Amino acid sequence: MRIASDVAASNVTPSVQADENPQTPNGKVPLYQPADDQGFTLFTTPALDDTYNNLGDGYDRIAHPDSWGGFVHGTIEFGGNLVPFAGAKLTADLQEGAQWLNNKVDGIPVLQNIVNPFGDVVNGFGASIGDVFGSFGRSANDFGAAFEHLSHGDLKEAGKSLYNSGKDIVVGAYDSTKDAVKSVLDSVEDFFSW
């Protein structure tokens, strides 16, 4: 499942997706989506989704290769997403904890102004580092794809895949910086919202 927002939650029940932009009483998009009535919620981030999907895709290419290039693609994709998946999982857990804390103090005068800025910074740190892990996972997939294209004699597509592999790292660094800056701005806004 690919999710465009920085943080999302989807119910475990089939075909149920949480609203991506629900509004809280203060007009801000909530950081954390609460669980449904049964308490089943899957907390996820784009980096966690991407690396998880790449692990599955890479394994499938290894187990059922359609060519030597597909096998090499799968090996690079799977191996190149092991560490990013672990990192994305840790940063998603960090984000989930920070957002849980922010929800617990939401609406409590003074305390929310002290705790929410801390939660915003921790959440932003998790998102920022998660972006880096996700970019390395996407880069491994594209790098592996270059070998698969070479195995089919498609030099043009192999070149595009190599280009995309490098671009993934640059885009990940940009997204990481953007998330870090946004978390600091959110933190300052929460602190001064007396």
Of 18-22, 168-172, 185-189, the range with the highest mean pLDDT is: 168-172
Q: Which two tokens stand for residue 171?
A: 């885009």
Q: What is the pTM of this model?
A: 0.72
Q: What is the model's pLDDT at position 107?
A: 85
pLDDT of 123-145, one tens digit each?
889 999 999 999 999 999 999 99
Distance CA 143, CA 162 (A): 6
Distance CA 191, CA 118 (A): 9
Q: What is the model's pLDDT at position 41?
A: 58
Distance CA 188, CA 134 (A): 27
Q: What is the model's pLDDT at position 166?
A: 95
pLDDT of 1-59, one tens digit each?
333 444 444 434 443 333 433 443 444 444 444 444 555 456 788 899 999 999 999 99
* Length of the chain counted residue by residue: 194
Q: Which two tokens stand for residue 128?
A: 């920022």
Confidence of residue 110 (pLDDT cuts 50, 70, 90): confident
Residues 143, 94: contact at Cβ < 8 Å? no
The distance from CA 114 to its chain's CA centroid, rounded to whole angstroms, is: 27
Residue type, 65: P
Q: Break the chain into its structural domains and give their ranges.
A: 45-191
| Rounded percentage of the chain residues whose pLDDT exceeds 90 | 53
Phi-psi map region of 114: left, alpha, beta (phi>0 left; psi -120 to 50 alpha): alpha
Which segments of the chain does DSSP mark as H helices, in order? Answer: 46-63, 68-105, 111-151, 155-191
Q: Which two tokens stand for residue 189?
A: 């806004």
Residues 70, 61: contact at Cβ < 8 Å? yes
